[in-house]
Amino acid sequence: MRDACPACGHEQALILLEGSDRLYGTTDRVFQVVECQACQLIRLHPWPSSSEVRQYYPGGYWFVPDQDAVSRLEEAYRRFVLRDHVNFVSRALRDVASDGRVLDVGCGGGLFLRMLNEKGHSVVGLDFALGAAGAAWNQNRVPSACGDLKQAPFAPESFAAVTMFHVIEHLFDPVGYLEAAHQLLRPGGRLIVQVPNAACWQFLLLGESWNGVDIPRHLINYRAHDLEILLDRCGFHVLRTKHFSLRDNPAGLASSLAPSLDPMARRIRRMPEAPGTRMAKDLAYLGLVAASVPFTLLEAACHAGSTVMIEASKKE
């Protein structure tokens, strides 16, 4: 018997594909990706247990620069491509009172929050990984806590905005997280959520090779429409939707086509590389990312981008 659909409870599902951990190679176990026959939500099957899932998140799952020249270049690149995210959130904050704090859930090494802070916003980070929360403070001077949003030590209605970039597709309980965010937001506060969009052309064309499926870390593969329904159910009103992100869409296509060049995957797999090889692979990857820009822009212009970012407000 199959696990029931987490959205509607229906048990019948169509198998879309099968695969294993293509990007980080943490396991050889084969999983299915299935589509609920009642509500069409796409999910991983079976869901790993919460203890099993931990082994699929190797250490160093966030970006922390070393002091060498290549890392400094990488940080400059990351700052450049993160401007989309910073601008999207800044615009949301302009429409609310701009003096409020911003909470980034799944803050990683904290570079995004540092950039938002440089624009004058007060910021706080939260991450499951102690190493990430520590790096956010040590590398980027971003105050951050380690833990679960549902038990986070923050006062209700104390944030102007809560951001979750590439978080909820990893969660066993996205509803609990979104409801926790709802309680932490002050009236009129904004939630900004970004996920891979399973209604993109890349998924149709590449199937299991599309890195947005990310077996076995992505438990639910949302289409933009699924996310809108989920947000509505959790008390949010969708205000704005964006299908292109400079950080994620072109790099996502590059990593789908050449996962062995993906810099994060190479770091996590601890591939021994001479400095020259590392530089050559970084440049090849960068070239592939640049070559991916036109296709990913076209896909997004047709509302089938490989990520979707949504700004939503609390329903009054």
Binding of Zn ion by 44 (CB under 5 A): no
Nearer to Zn ion, 13 or 93 (CB): 13
Structure tokens at 156: 């209700």
Binding of Zn ion by 10 (CB under 5 A): yes
State the Cα–Cα distance between residues 287 and 283, nearest whole angstrom.
6
∠ at Cα 294 (42, 166), nearest 5°? 35
Nearer to Zn ion, 3 or 99 (CB): 3
The values of phi and psi at residue 101, to 5°, are: -85, 155
Number of residues this chain uses to bind Zn ion (CB under 5 A)? 8
Nearer to Zn ion, 14 or 69 (CB): 14
Residues 187-246 that bind Zn ion (CB under 5 A): none
CB of 195 to Zn ion, least distance (A): 17
Binding of Zn ion by 291 (CB under 5 A): no
H or E element, residue 278: helix 275-301
HSE of 313 in the Cβ direction (CA atoms, 13 Å)?
11
Binding of Zn ion by 135 (CB under 5 A): no
- Convert residues 239-278 into a mask of x (bound to Zn ion by CB under 5 A) and - (unbound): ----------------------------------------
Rg, Å, the chain Cα set: 19
- 21, 35, 39, 240: which one contacts Zn ion (CB under 5 A)? 39
Q: Which of 275, 232, 282 is nearest to 260 (CA)?
A: 282
Residues 177, 171 contacting (CB under 8 angstroms):
yes
CB of 4 to Zn ion, least distance (A): 8
∠ at Cα 289 (287, 291), nearest 5°? 70
Binding of Zn ion by 34 (CB under 5 A): no
Beta-ladder partners of 108: none
H or E element, residue 12: none
Residue with tokens 């939707």: 241
CB of 39 to Zn ion, least distance (A): 3
Nearer to Zn ion, 36 or 193 (CB): 36
Q: Which stretch binds Zn ion (CB under 5 A): 23-31, 33-41, 60-68, 154-162?
A: 33-41
Beta-ladder partners of 307: 196
Binding of Zn ion by 129 (CB under 5 A): no
- 16, 23, 36, 102: which one contacts Zn ion (CB under 5 A)? 36
State the residues that interact with Zn ion by CB under 5 A: 5, 7-8, 10, 36, 38-39, 41
